[in-house]
């Protein structure tokens, strides 16, 4: 997860939960797959939780994953990051 904003304690910001880990195909099954990961921190006293969503592409030549998208939310005011797999909002 990215570095926490100050004055948040770093250990409370680290990932403690794995909410999602799945392979997605933004360009259809014939396109390159991406790994969708969503991790979350522990809940704070007021219920806030840092949630980090990222899409990773595998680089075979370097034998490692590269982040192609990342977004973080940190409060409980109905923030959500969703991957649209099909339908009118799908990226082309």
pLDDT tens digits, 19-44 = 999 999 988 888 889 999 999 888 88
Question: Which residues of the chain are under the pLDDT cut of 50?
Answer: none
Phi/psi for 12 (5° steps) reads -75, -15
Listed by start position, the domains of the chain span: 10-73
- How far apart are alpha carbons 23 and 1 in whole angstroms? 19
**Which pLDDT belongs to residue 7?**
55
């Amino acid at each position: 997860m990215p570095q926490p904003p100050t004055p948040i304690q770093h250990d409370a910001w680290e990932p403690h939960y794995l909410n999602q880990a799945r392979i997605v195909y933004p360009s259809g099954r014939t396109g390159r797959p991406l790994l969708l990961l969503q991790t979350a921190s522990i809940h704070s006293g007021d219920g806030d939780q840092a949630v980090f969503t990222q899409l990773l592409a595998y680089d075979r030549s370097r034998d490692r994953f590269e982040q192609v998208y990342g977004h973080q939310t940190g409060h409980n005011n109905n923030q959500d990051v969703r991957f649209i797999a099909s339908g009118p909002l799908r990226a082309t």
